[in-house]
Amino acid sequence: MPFFKLPVLNNGSNTFFYMALIPLVFIFFGVNLQAQELGDHQYTSESIQLGLGIYNRECALCHGIQGDLIDNIDLRLGKFRSAASDDNLRNVILEGRAKGRMPAFNFNTRELNGVIAYLRAGFDPNGMAVRIGDPSQGRILFEGEGECSSCHRVNGEGPRIAPDLSNIGKIRTAANLQLNLIDPAAAMLPINRPVRIVTLSEETIVGRRLNEDTYTVQLIDSEERLRSLVKAELLSYDISDSPSKAPTMLDSGEVADVIAYLLTLVGEGGSP
């Protein structure tokens, strides 16, 4: 957080000028705070730009401009042999690999972050580079402190009141997962909206919408039952705009771990 020092108000005639500045200062701090919050979860665009130069100079020779010249490795798509987290990548780059076929690089922290940011941005200098933490730590958080498993089902375990995440790593990007955790309102898919329905027989049903067509709506109710309702038989049907969960209380390092875990969920062992 930058530190601002306004000059001392020693002259009455300037007071009005300074008072007029106050709202501007608030606006500035507000915007900056938001940037800061996101900044902790992802690499800056300066970092990505720096990484672009380093990559092309130091890595492209062996890995190629597109990052896919070495078998079973696609640096742009995040396909590695053993590395998963950003820390793993740091170690690979600092230590080298395959008995020196990949040399060890003597980068400082800024350069190291730059290269990783460039990889995580998918080689897009204007892209977004989400930090990826430790997947095994992420799993512990998912099932524990993060309370994710109190709503979400993974590989046949857990409730059905929220979307099943068994293959979420295959269908969503890291950036999308991050948004869902830190700003669920912005990430909410229209179809997943919470609904509140009163039927003509005066039953109230609260649940999560799964599907809808002109005549019917399908949802999972609060008792986890799959319901299909005929719209003509409903007294009221309200779709909520607010997400059914709050932004996560996990800190940015923990969010990076949870994202790493979610990215490992690619459907194997998944169950309906």
Task: Using CB under 6 A, pick the residue from 53, 127, 243, 270 that binds ligand HEC.
Answer: 243
Q: Which DSSP state fits 56?
A: I
| Number of neighbouring beta carbons within 10 Å of residue 168 | 21
User: In terms of CB distance, is 89 or 229 closer to ligand HEC?
Assistant: 89
Contact between 237 and 205 (Cβ < 8 Å):
no
Answer for which of 48, 50, 188, 195 binds ligand HEC (CB under 6 A) is 188
Question: Cα(40)–Cα(133) distance, rounded to whole angstroms?
Answer: 12
Question: What is the C-alpha to C-alpha distance for residues 235 and 164, in angstroms, rounded to an integer?
Answer: 30
CA 14 to chain centre: 46
The distance of closest approach from Cβ of residue 254 to ligand HEC in the complex, given in angstroms and rounded to an integer, is: 9
Q: Please report whether residue 48 would count as binding ligand HEC according to CB under 6 A.
A: no
Kindly state the smallest distance separating residue 124's Cβ from ligand HEC, in Å.
16
Give the residue, chosen from 58, 68, 74, 87, that forms a contact with ligand HEC under the rule CB under 6 A. Answer: 58
Site mask, ligand HEC, residues 198-227, x = CB under 6 A?
Answer: ----------x-------------------
* Secondary structure percentages of the chain, helix, strand, coil, to 5: 45, 15, 40
Which listed residue (245, 247, 252, 270) binds ligand HEC by CB under 6 A?
A: 245
Rounded to the nearest 10 degrees, how much is the dihedral formed by the CA atoms of 70, 118, 108, 251?
-120
Kindly tell me which of 13 and 58 has the beta carbon lying closer to ligand HEC. Answer: 58
* DSSP-assigned letters across all residues of 83-119: --SHHHHHHHHHH-BGGGTB------HHHHHHHHHHH
Stretch near ligand HEC under the rule CB under 6 A, chosen from 4-12, 212-220, 228-236, 240-248: 240-248
> Interaction with ligand HEC in 72-111: which residues (CB under 6 A)?
73, 75, 80-83, 89, 92-93, 97-98, 101-103, 105
| In the complex, least distance from residue 249 CB atom to ligand HEC, rounded to whole angstroms | 9
Of the listed pieces 21-29, 142-150, 213-221, 226-234, which binds ligand HEC according to CB under 6 A? Answer: 142-150
The token pair at 130 is 């989400």
Residues 6+ apart with CB under 8 A from 228: 216, 217, 218
- Binding footprint of ligand HEC, residue count (CB under 6 A): 49
With binding defined as CB under 6 A, does residue 59 bind ligand HEC? yes
List the structure tokens of 189.
């898919």
The two most distant CA atoms of the chain are separated, in Å, by 74
Positions touching ligand HEC (CB under 6 A) are 58-59, 61-63, 70, 73, 75, 80-83, 89, 92-93, 97-98, 101-103, 105, 115, 142, 146-148, 150-152, 162-163, 165, 168, 172, 177, 180-181, 184, 187-189, 192, 208, 243-245, 248, 258, 262
